[in-house]
Amino acid sequence: MNRRRPSWLSLIVGAAIVAAPALLLAASEPNAPWRLPEEASTYAGRIDGIFNLILWITGIVFFLVEITLLVFLFKYRAKAGGRATYTHGSNRLEVIWTIIPALILVFLAVVSQDSWAYIRNHFPSSGTVIDITAEQFAWNIRYPGPDGKLNTDDDIVTLNQLHFPVDKPALINLHSKDVIHSFFLPEFRIKQDAVPGMTTRVWVQAKHTGNWEIACAELCGLGHYRMKGYLTVDTPEGFQKWLAETAAENKTESK
């Protein structure tokens, strides 16, 4: 059918072609209020990279679907005496729009798997070992003392105050005394449930020194919203100094 496309249709399609990348670029603007938080860990960039890749792919699909929908609604609105085209479909088209999403989704799965394995399966062989036991509504944090072993008398313990040094992996063992909690450091892109009866593990390496808040991401009771901890990433020297000070405080309290 040789129908001349109306000019408004060209305008809508043209505007969409310009608007779609512009909006997606605006979404990627580093200082925009809807951006992901700062990337404070070494692997936050990996997660953000996949997030942005998915955002671009789904963003383009979203605009294509919604613009196609709008164009069809305008173009094929009922007209007096008009009649719809009688067709039950097209196998070729259906095969095409089955295979393309399938390939994109398999590609995303493969890309995601690489980072998932890096973050969750390949634990660094050395680093600062930390034991965290969650309870309603606090984080009990424990470091090995001078003997280098956890759960001995010389352990260094704090409440809600997590420290680890910059540029060195922190190897965190998570436990829970009561219900399920979730250890969440948004800027470090790390989240892991602490489950009673089992130990879960997570590792993280800070890119720079600073202070952040630890949140609980799993509903754990009426005080869930105030189960807040504080993370300080120190220089290696600063961390050793803090550890020594905390050990001394522990000794004073135990006397």
Partner 1 sequence: MSEAVAVAHGHGVHAAPTSFWRKYVFSLDHKVIGIQYMSYSLFMLVIGGLLAMLVRWQLAFPGRPLAFMGKIVPAGMPGGVMLPEFYNSLFTMHATIMIFFAIMPLLIGAFGNYVVPLQIGARDMAFPRLNMMSFWTAVPGAFLIIASFFVEGGAAQSGWTSYAPLSAIQPKGQTLWLLALLVLGISSLLTAVNFITTIINLRAPGMHFFRMPLTVWALFIDAILLLLALPVLSAAMIMLLFDRILHTTFFLPAGLIVSGAAWTNAGGGQPLLWQHLFWFFGHPEVYIMILPAMGIVSDVMAVFARKPIFGYRSMAYAMCGIAGLGWIVWGHHMFQSGMNPYLGTTFMISTMVIAVPSAIKTFNWLGTLWRGQIHFTTPMLNAIAFVAMFAIGGLSGIFMASTPVDIFIHDTYFIVGHIHYVLFGGSLFGAFAGLYFWFPKMFGRKMSETWGKVHFWLSLIFFNGVMFPMHILGMRGMQRRIYDYTQYSHLKGLQPLNIFMSFSAFALGVSQIVLIVNFFWSLKFGERVGNNPWRANTLEWQTTSPPPHENFAEIPIVYHGPYEYSVPGMAEDYLPQTQPASAPLSSH
Chain positions 7 to 36 lying near partner 1, rule: CB under 8 A, are 33-36
CB burial readout 229-244, b (16+ within 10 A) else e? bebbbbeeeebeebbe
Q: Of the candidates 151, 165, 141, 113, which has an alpha carbon nearest to the alpha carbon of residue 246?
A: 141
Encoding tokens for residue 229?
A: 């901890």
Question: What is the distance of C-alpha 225 from the center of its chain?
Answer: 19
**Nearer to partner 1 among residue 78 and residue 237 (C-beta):** 78
Label residue 100 left, alpha or beta by phi (over 0 means left) and psi (-120 to 50 means alpha). alpha
Alpha helix segments (H runs only) across 117-191:
none
Nearer to partner 1, 15 or 106 (CB): 106
Window 137-176: residues binding partner 1 (CB under 8 A)? none
- For partner 1, how many residues bind (rule: CB under 8 A)? 88
- The CB-of-218 to partner 1 minimum distance in angstroms stands at 6
Would you count residue 123 as binding partner 1 (CB under 8 A)?
Answer: no
Residue 186's nearest CA partner among 31, 37, 27 is 37
Residues 180-239, interacting with partner 1 (CB under 8 A)? 180, 182, 184, 186-187, 189-193, 195-198, 200, 212-213, 215-226, 228
Among residue numbers 98 through 117, which ones bind partner 1 (CB under 8 A)?
98, 101-102, 105-106, 108-109, 112-113, 115-117
Applying CB under 8 A, which of residues 15, 17, 23, 61 lies at the interface with partner 1? 61
Phi, psi (deg, nearest 5) at residue 58: -70, -35
Contact between 4 and partner 1 per CB under 8 A? no
Residue of the chain from 12, 24, 42, 135 that contacts partner 1 (CB under 8 A)? 135
The smaller minimum CB distance to partner 1, of residues 12 and 247, is found at 12
Report the residue count for the chain.
Answer: 255
Select the residue interacting with partner 1 from 6, 21, 37, 124 (CB under 8 A): 37
Query: DSSP letter at 60?
Result: H
Interacting span for partner 1 (CB under 8 A) from 8-16, 74-82, 148-156, 157-165: 74-82
Between 141 and 185, whose beta carbon lies closer to partner 1? 185
From the list 50, 157, 166, 247, which residue makes contact with partner 1 (rule: CB under 8 A)? 50
Q: Which helix (H) or strand (E) holds 202?
A: strand 200-204
In whole angstroms, what is the distance from residue 210 CA to residue 207 CA? 10
